[in-house]
Amino acid sequence: MEHIFSKKWLWVGLVIAVVNPVFSGLILGSLYLTEPGLKKYGRIILSLAIVWGAASFWLVRKFAPLLPTL
């Protein structure tokens, strides 16, 4: 049962890291690293948050001139 519970928290963390990588993904990944049973998932979520956050910033900077101004 605990294996299913921890997998659920992995998926929740991955969704949060993709939706808001800079703040929520980094915070949640850091919190997972403090829990003994979730350290592996913490590394995965933190890595995804950093990579996706960097990619998001790069994409926004690259395509910012193409976006319409408000």
| Rounded CA separation 14/1 (Å) | 20
Give me the pLDDT at residue 30, please. 85
Residue extents of the structural domains in the chain: 9-45
Ranges of the chain whose pLDDT falls below 50 = 1
Give me the pLDDT at residue 43, please. 92
Q: Which two tokens stand for residue 2?
A: 């605990």
Q: Which residues in 1-70 belong to E strands, given as ranges?
A: none
Give me the pLDDT at residue 4, please. 57
Nearest-CA neighbor of 49 among 7, 18, 70? 18
